[in-house]
Amino acid sequence: MTTLARSRLVGWRLLQAIPVIVGIIIVSFLLTRALPGDPAAYFAGPAADAASIEQTRVSMGLDRPLPIQFVTYVQDLVRGDLGISVSTGQPVRQELATRLPASLELTGFALLFSVAIAMPLGILAATRPNTWVDHLCRAVVTAGVSLPTFFTGLALIYVFYYLLGWAPSPMGRLDFLYLPPPKVTGFYVIDALLARDLETARATLAQLALPAITLGLFTLAPIARMTRAAMLQILEGEFIRTARAAGLPRRQILLTYALRNAVLPVITTLGMVFSFALGANVLVEKVFSWPGIGSYAVEALVVSDYAAVQGFVLTMALLFVTLNLIIDVIYTLVDPRLGMEE
Amino acid sequence: MNRREFLKGTSALTVGAVYLPFLKAMPAQANADETLVVVMGSTINSLDIHRSGTNRPSYQVAVNCYDRLLTFGTKTLDDGSLSYDYDNLQGELAESWEVSGDGRTLTFTLREATFWDGRPVTAQDVKWSFDRAVTLGGFPTTQMAAGSTTRPEQFEAVDERTFLIHLPHASKLTLPNLTTPIAIVINSELALEHATDDDPWATDYLHRNPAGSGAFMVERWEPGQQLVYRRNPDWASGELPGAERIILREVPSASTRRALLERGNIQLSQDVPPRDAMELDAHASVQVVSTPIENCLHVLCPNLAFEPFQDVRVRQAIAWAVPYEAILQNAAYDRGVPMWGGESSTPDDIQWPQPFPYHTNLDRARALLAESDYPDGFEVPLSFDLGQADWAESTALLIQEALGRIGITVTLDRIPGANWRTRALVDKQLPLHLENFGGWLNTPCYYFFWAYIEGNLFNSSNYHNEEVAQLVDETLFMAMDDPDYAPKIRRMIEIAFEEVPRIPLYQPALNVAMQPNLDGYTFWYHRQLDQRVLHGR
């Protein structure tokens, strides 16, 4: 595929994203307003009377008609202002900017761990279908997905922190001994390395280990199963039989010819697992006090914190669009057929 | 041995497992036992208690970073733990105070104190802060009104160190109300430098930057993660805190908080759920303090807007059917004070809360229900706040089962936090629900004012009784040593016994768990952690 064709594809996909995002802005606005409960009553405090609730309503701008609220919201949005979260008292944009990297870093490491285990497992299972190896793989990944993450998390904390003392205290992204590295990307590991502070980088990795493993175990199953299925299908292909007949080394057949073809559905799965894990790791975040985006969204939802919920939905939508785009581009790089069609 | 291990080693030698924070920020010679690490399950969302939307856990910033005019002394409870003492009012920023003969003018003389930036604390600062509290609206204004202070004209700065409060009538609640976290004194000059025409009270600035004269300053605040207090070496309003620095970490999972405490990585864990408190208490390596929360009750509210509950016999039948004993065991793990089994239906004293003259007696409950207009029972949903599920869930299940036995079919209705306030307290439309109001000011009339007067927020039962309304009106401001006070309060409690618009289940406790070498923890009615009094043993 030529560069021109690729940039046309990217451009076309970006255009397609516009109606999606407009739709999401409208729907998230309407849905948050449809939430039951009265945020003014909630935020007016413990001993509020009718008058002070009304005052709170006016100060939150909730006394105005819906269309006007919407116009104000869109105007702010255009200026890049996502509003102020009433429950945390911080600008939503600033909060998402600190919490999203935390979640991305955690999910990223979890997926690295997951891929490093699940892909070899899947390949192993595919080359020996229906043997004890295959069954063992199936058992392992099923166990991973069946255990609720808060349980895995607490069990890991119990063994590695409480009993053995190997893991640092599960108190978020950094032990209180350390100051966060100067912010460049928001990813602590990268920022610490950029600042050439190996000590802090090591500490961040240590904090990351248990939550990443917890989340990784949970995502083993789809990746391993997809690798196995794709590999099985490819291994039955005629070109593999030809390669075998030609006497090519087994390693080359498996890794060069079979895996390259089997990796496409795996990448699709990875994309889905990533976006799913990003929003769904609330329990992991709670157990490890991880200041991520999932717990932020859930708490905002519970108290009807309009600005925060809308900001979260919008960010996730943008993230999904970007992620899909990236996966499409990776396709064109990986898939041999797409290159030949030109 | 690298730098980090060296520091860990020295600190471990001094006090248990207190580690040095801020490796890169702190010189190595700093003394490690001067740092405390405290964890809590909730999040601090503002450093300004007057701002609308500031949540309850944030009140501790007001407690620790600001001074009030007055405070309470300390008393030792029967179990040896410490509590504030409602009967021992003391000066904080006020060196002395005087009440005029008619009780309508309060004169305060300020001590010599300075704000963190070195400016002296003046009467003008007090006036500005109080003006702010009564003007901003919302919770601060409501709380100030409890002390009969509602308008800026009531506050007068006579000179640098003399401050006056003018009252429309004498009230016993005004002075205690000045000890609440709301009545803080703010550095008005500094705040005004950051005020704008749209924001004359500098809410944007003070939201992130406290400006007080209190014992602790805020060194760092990372919302959703941690808040770091640093001691103010020039604090004038009390004894200098034992800890040089306090790191307050937010750890949402109760199990994680418990593991951290048991491992000795932290010194104190706030808001410990009753079950953990019970289990931790069995550990020799952890001390648990459970203090019954004054003037607070966990109650079952039959709503009079729901027709069957208008019949007092139905309400009494429920009060006889509630499995009190099982609730205290299963919901509070025995960390609470029984509020049932009172001897007589007329109270002997004005103690509040005190046990109601009911206990579990299903025969009596059935008999009362049979006499009522609903002999065959009825169906009713029992609602509770999901945010309170740690005690409310099991309580609701036990009540459901018990009421089923006398023929009342109960369905459970779990309501998430935001809806709870609206539906239970503002609209007051939940037929049967669990409620947990506690009054900051520890007088029975104050509790009755909020919970038994029609239209007031915590009267979620829609109860109305002319006599109670009149009694509350007469007693709310009356001095407690007035000879008329006690008989009127006893009558009020007697009516509450008889009419049971609120059925008390038990008096809950506030549980805090800490390392055995930590001393000085003191219970406060506002249930916030007073970091100023904590120190190592």
CATH code: domain of residue A236: 1.10.3720.10
CA distance A91 to chain B (A): 11
Asked if A227 contacts A126 with a C-beta cutoff of 8 angstroms, the reply is yes
Size of interface A-B (CB pairs under 8 A): 170
In chain A, positions 23-62, which contact chain B (CB-CB < 8 Å)? 35-39, 41-53, 55-56, 59-60
- Closest CB to B255 among A43, A154, A299: A154
| A89/B207 CB distance under 8 A | yes
**For B457, which of A47, A99, A287 is closest by C-beta distance?**
A47
CATH of the domain at B168: 3.90.76.10
Nearest-Cα residue of chain B relative to residue A168: B265
- Residue B441 Rama label (left phi>0; alpha psi -120 to 50; beta): beta
Confidence at residue A323, expressed as pLDDT on a 0 to 100 scale: 83
The reply to whether B235 and B370 lie within a common domain is no
pLDDT at residue B25, as a whole number: 38
Q: Same structural domain for residues A201 and A267? A: yes
Q: Are A45 and B4 in contact (CB < 8 Å)?
A: no
Quick one: B61 and B97 in the same domain? no
Peptide bond into B516 cis (omega under 30): no
For residue B110, the model assigns a pLDDT of 96
Interface test with A, best of B18, B248, B419, B450 (most A CBs within 10 A): B419
Structural domains counted in chain B: 3
Q: How far apart are CA A93 and CA B161, in angstroms?
A: 44
Does residue A298 sit within a domain? no
Q: Give the pair of three-digit tokens for residue B314.
A: 């139905």
Q: What pLDDT score does A2 carry?
A: 67
Domain assignment present for A213: yes
> Do B346 and B389 sit in the same domain of this protein?
yes
Give domain status of residue A193, yes or no: yes
Q: Of all helices (H) and strands (E), which one includes residue A262? A: helix A259-280
Q: What residues in A contact B457, CB-CB < 8 Å?
A: 47-49
pLDDT value at residue B291: 94
Is the Cβ pair B426, A288 closer than 8 Å?
no
Residues B188 and B233 in one domain: no
Tell me: do B101 and B243 sit in the same domain. no
Tell me whether residue A297 is in a domain.
no
Residue of A nearest to B2 (CA): A199
Q: Is the Cβ pair B255, A87 closer than 8 Å?
A: no
Please state, in angstroms and rounded to a whole number, the distance separating the CA atoms of residues B394 and A326.
49
pLDDT tens, residue by residue, A282-337: 888 888 989 888 888 888 887 778 888 888 888 888 888 888 888 877 777 776 66
Q: Half-sphere exposure of A323 toward its Cβ, with a 13 Å CA cutoff?
A: 19
Of the candidates A87, A297, A305, A97, the residue with the CA atom closest to the CA atom of residue A186: A97
Do residues A243 and A253 make contact, with C-beta atoms less than 8 angstroms apart? yes
Contact A44 B39 (CB under 8 A): no
- Is A162 at the interface with chain B, CB within 8 A? yes
- Residue A47 pLDDT: 61
Do the domain assignments include residue B273? no
Q: Which residue of A has its CA nearest to B250?
A: A289
Mark which residues 245-304 of A lie under 8 Å from B by CB.
Answer: 285-289, 291, 295-296, 299, 302-304
Judge whether B275 lies within some domain: no
Does residue B202 fall inside a structural domain?
no
Same domain, A188 and A229: yes
Q: Which of A6-10, A244-248, B169-173 has the highest mean pLDDT?
A: B169-173
* A58 CA: distance to closest CA in chain B (Å): 11
Kindly state the helix (H) or strand (E) to which residue B208 belongs, with its residue range.
helix B203-208
Asked if B142 lies within 8 A of A45 by C-beta distance, the reply is: yes
Residue B465 lies inside a defined structural domain of this protein: yes
In a domain, A52, yes or no: yes
B244 assigned to some structural domain: yes
- Asked if the Cβ–Cβ distance from A176 to B143 is below 8 Å, we say no
Which residue of B223, B251, B260 is in closest CB contact with A89?
A: B223
Q: How far apart are CA B370 and CA B368, in angstroms?
A: 5
- Say yes or no for a CB contact (<8 Å) between A42 and B417: yes
Residues of B in contact with A88 (CB under 8 A): 43, 45, 223-224
For residues A192 and A327, membership in a common domain is answered with no
* CB contact (8 A) between residue A49 and residue B20: no
Q: Which pLDDT belongs to residue A240?
A: 85
CA B232 to chain centroid, in Å, comes to 25
The fraction of chain A above a pLDDT of 90, given in percent, is 12
Q: What is the mean pLDDT of residues A175-196?
A: 86
Closest residue of chain A to B253, computed from CA coordinates: A287
Please indicate, yes or no, whether residues B324 and B463 belong to a single structural domain of this protein.
yes
Closest approach of B253 to chain A, Cα-based (Å): 5
Chain A's closest residue to B419, CA to CA, is: A37
Tell if the CB–CB gap between B225 and A291 is shorter than 8 Å. Answer: yes
Supply φ then ψ for residue B528, to 5 degrees. -90, 155
Number of H helices, E strands in chain B: 17, 23
Q: What is the pLDDT of residue B77?
A: 93
Q: How far apart are CA A15 and CA A10, in angstroms?
A: 9
Instruction: Give the tens place of pLDDT for each residue, A20-72.
Output: 888 888 988 888 888 776 777 777 766 666 777 787 788 777 888 888 888 88
- Give just the sign of the alpha carbon dihedral A103, A108, A114, A117: negative
A15 within some domain: yes
ipTM: 0.80
pLDDT of residue B28: 32
Cβ contacts (< 8 Å) between B386 and chain A: which residues?
Answer: 302
Q: Judge: A42–B22 Cβ closer than 8 Å, yes or no.
A: no
Query: Distance between the two ends of chain B, CA-based, in angstroms?
Result: 30
A48 to B139: CB separation less than 8 angstroms, yes or no: yes
SS3 A180: coil
Q: Say how far apart CA A323 and CA A335 lie, in whole Å.
A: 18
| Domain containing residue B12: CATH number | 3.40.190.10
What pLDDT, on a 0 to 100 scale, did the predictor assign at position B51?
87
φ/ψ of residue B506, rounded to 5: -170, 165
pLDDT of the residue at A337: 64
Instruction: Indicate which CATH number applies to the domain containing B326.
Output: 3.10.105.10
Residue B525: C-alpha distances to residues A198, A272, B271, B295, B390 (Å): 47, 50, 14, 9, 21
- Chain-centroid distance of CA B146 in Å reads 15
Q: Which two tokens stand for residue A82?
A: 């996502």
Question: For position A342, what pLDDT does the model report?
Answer: 42
pLDDT recorded at residue B23? 41
| CA separation for the pair B85, B291 (Å, rounded) | 13
Residue corresponding to tokens 């019970």:
B278
CA nearest neighbour of A286 among B111, B335, B176, B42: B42
Domain count, chain A: 2
Are residue B341 and residue B414 in the same domain, yes or no? yes
CA gyration radius, chain B: 25
Q: Which of B170, B163, B178, B162 is nearest to B89 (CA)?
A: B178
What integer pLDDT is reported at residue B33 of this predicted model?
54
Domain assignment present for residue B157? The answer is yes
Residue in B22, B55, B450 closest to A179 by CB:
B22
Averaged pLDDT, A141-159: 88
Q: Which domain range does residue B87 map to?
A: 67-72+83-193
Is B52's CB within 8 Å of A44's CB? yes
Residues of chain B contacting residue A36, judged by C-beta atoms under 8 Å apart:
418-419
* DSSP annotation of B18: P
What is the per-residue pLDDT for B17? 36
Residues B94 and B57 occupy one common structural domain: no
**Pairwise CA distance, residues A314 & A23, whole Å:** 10
Is B419's CB within 8 Å of A36's CB?
A: yes
Task: Give the span between the Cα atoms of B534 and B516, in whole angstroms.
Answer: 12
Is A108 a domain residue?
A: yes
- Containing domain of residue A134, as a range? 95-292
Residue of A42, A60, A63 to mutate, interface with B, max B Cβ within 10 Å: A42
What average pLDDT score do residues A184-209 get?
89
pLDDT per position in chain B (537 positions), as tens?
Answer: 344 443 443 333 333 333 344 444 333 333 445 889 999 998 898 999 998 778 889 999 999 999 999 999 999 999 999 999 999 999 999 999 999 999 999 999 999 999 999 999 999 999 999 999 999 888 898 899 999 999 999 999 999 999 999 999 999 999 999 999 999 999 999 999 999 998 999 998 999 999 999 999 999 998 888 999 999 999 999 999 988 999 999 998 888 999 999 988 899 999 899 999 999 998 888 999 999 999 999 999 999 999 999 999 999 999 999 999 999 999 999 999 999 999 888 998 999 999 999 999 999 999 999 999 999 999 999 999 988 888 999 999 999 999 999 999 999 999 887 678 888 888 899 999 999 999 999 999 999 999 999 988 899 999 999 999 999 999 999 999 999 999 999 999 999 999 999 999 999 999 999 999 899 999 999 999 999 999 887
Q: What is the pLDDT of residue A67?
A: 87
Q: Which residues of A touch B22 (CB under 8 A)?
A: 176-179
Name B275's Cβ contacts closer than 8 Å, sequence gap at least 6.
B333, B390
Domain match, B373 and B473 both: yes
Does the residue B327 lie in any domain? yes
